[in-house]
Structure 1
Amino acid sequence: MGTPVKGWKLIVKRAFDLIVGLVGFVVSLPIIFIFSILVALTSKGPVFYMQERVGLMGRCFKVIKLRSMYQDAESRTGAVWAKKNDPRITPIGRVMRKTRIDELPQFWNVLKGDMSLVGPRPERPILTEKFSQEFADFPKRLRIIPGITGYAQINGGYDIAPNEKCKLDNYYIEHYSLWFDIKMLFGTVEVIFTGNGAR
């Protein structure tokens, strides 16, 4: 099962990620700094949160985020799908998730090559295995490098059902173009300022 983004398309996508990702990383540093202080002041635990996710062709990597949940929030439940009014999320975490600020450190993942600016959100290994067994089309999401933002995030939000998220991600994969990526980035800016699509 090959990737639909290859050849010159892959080169253009990577170049776009590096240029825009570097600018985004530099611009976001003051915001990350401010919210890292707020996270530290309002809840116990580390400011940054690293978690194993599944990327292109099933390769695992560590995604980095500003911590939006209480420390050890999943110690009793294990890995679960995000839901509306999730009690695991801190008050400042709700603000960060609504505006996507918790995702800003992932510009570093983009610069490293683990992620793209736009693509399916990478899932944890246990959820990837679970949904791959439940939904035949779910593994198709691994045909393209995962993204900070994407078609499913903009049109569904954090608590979209896994099967619906799968459909939106596969639509993006089959219709990929640089222009599609640019439109998704503009759509993300709209989400940040309006909260539409975010949870």
Structure 2
Amino acid sequence: PVGVVTEQPDGSDGLPVLTTGEEVERALIQNGVRDVLAVHPSVRAEQGPLLRALAESGCTVWEIDADSPSFETRHQLAGFSCRRLHMGSRRRGSVGKRLLDVSVSGTLLLLAGPLLLVCAVVLRLTDGPGVVFRQERIGKDGKPFTLLKFRTHRPVDEHEAATRWSVANERRMSWFCRFLRRTSLDELLQLWNVFRCDMSLVGPRPERPYFVAKFSQTYPGYAARHRMQTGITGLAQIHGLRGDTSIEDRARFDNAYIDNWSLWQDICILLRTAAALMRPTGS
């Protein structure tokens, strides 16, 4: 190691502490650095620009987890598992993924327009005003965005909305709201999130800030999910990991999806999701 990039110099074991971009660039050139090791780069979105700049300069960026050696990856470093992070501005295949997102979401929005209108009208008549539910979720690189859904539950207050894990068994829910959740029709508005590039069709499911902070501290690899665009469906979901299921298993499936990503895999996941919607089980 030739230096540590941190705002807290304690614990650097005598290594130079690099606090500015100029110091990092100087150390990079003087020492011929080819590899950069990052601990939880997904937790703090502000690290993204620096890591991308290092990747564009020719460095290979690796992520390690200092808290746990249990990542299921092929690379090991000093007893810890590590994974390569694709920090370039345009990861190979990203254009194809975006084209798939725009074409499919745009087509579905046009085709499902009448259905969305019917759902909105019935929901307004049965549950009153406030048809669209907006909630802050965490997306790629830890950046927040506003997720859209049909409102199927009215929380008591903002604290409940931000911290209550599941409302699947909520007794106050009307019959139509239960129908929307059971058929996943309440998720259709997220096609607009995909069309406007907040999300992708396929990727790790986005979660609320409260749970992202909580799960990132509890489950190894959870924060690493945010190195790719979040999605409406994903590898975890087609394996039954939705609703009140294991967070650790979800993180494992999500990271496996990112590590082995391909456009063909996205298409297969979309087809399996469509097949699963024919036998809805609720969320």
Go from structure 1 to structure 2 and tell me whether the alpha carbon gap of 1:131 and 1:84 turns closer, same or farther (over 3 Å shift).
same
Cα distance in 1 between the residues matched to 2:278 and 2:171: 24
Cα distance in 1 between the residues matched to 2:142 and 2:172: 28
Question: What residue number does 1:68 align with?
Answer: 152
Question: What residue number does 1:37 align with?
Answer: 121
**Equivalent position amino acid for 2:265 in 1:** F
Name structure 2 gaps, 5 residues minimum.
1-40, 42-84
Tell which deviates more after alignment, 179-188 or 2-11. 2-11
Cα distance in 2 between the residues matched to 1:118 and 1:152: 10
- In the alignment, is residue 135 of structure 1 matched against residue 219 of structure 2? yes
Match of 1:165 among 250, 269, 273: 250
**Equivalent position amino acid for 1:190 in 2:** A
Query: CA contact under 8 A between 1:55 and 1:142: conserved in structure 2?
Result: yes
Larger Rg: 2
**Equivalent position amino acid for 1:172 in 2:** Y
How many Å apart are 1:73 and its aligned residue? Answer: 4.5
**Equivalent position amino acid for 1:41 in 2:** L
Match of 1:8 among 69, 92, 115: 92
Other structure's SS at 2:165 match: coil
Say what the alpha-carbon RMSD is for the aligned residues.
Answer: 2.1
| 1:82-112, Cα deviation, whole Å (9 max, x unpaired) | 2652446443222222222111111111111
| 1:51-75, Cα deviation, whole Å (9 max, x unpaired) | 1000000000101111121x22555
Go from structure 1 to structure 2 and tell me whether the alpha carbon gap of 1:3 and 1:159 turns closer, same or farther (over 3 Å shift).
farther
Task: Tell me which protein shows more helix as a share of its residues.
Answer: 1
Question: What residue number does 1:24 align with?
Answer: 108
Cα distance in 1 between the residues matched to 2:213 and 2:172: 23
Cα distance in 2 between the residues matched to 1:165 and 1:87: 27
- In the alignment, is residue 176 of structure 1 matched against residue 264 of structure 2? no
Q: How many residues of Structure 1 are paired with residues of Structure 2 in the alignment? A: 197
Question: What residue number does 2:232 align with?
Answer: 148
Query: CA contact under 8 A between 1:54 and 1:125: conserved in structure 2?
Result: yes
Cα distance in 2 between the residues matched to 1:161 and 1:93: 25
TM-score, length basis structure 2? 0.64
How many Å apart are 1:4 and its aligned residue? Answer: 7.6
Higher relative contact order (CA 8 A, sep 6+): 1
Cα distance in 1 between the residues matched to 2:102 and 2:272: 20
Question: What residue number does 1:92 align with?
Answer: 176
**Equivalent position amino acid for 1:192 in 2:** L
| 1:158-194, Cα deviation, whole Å (9 max, x unpaired) | 2222222222212211221111111111111112111
Cα distance in 1 between the residues matched to 2:164 and 2:279: 27
Query: CA contact under 8 A between 1:3 and 1:144: conserved in structure 2?
Result: no
Question: What residue number does 2:13 align with?
Answer: none
**Equivalent position amino acid for 2:274 in 1:** V
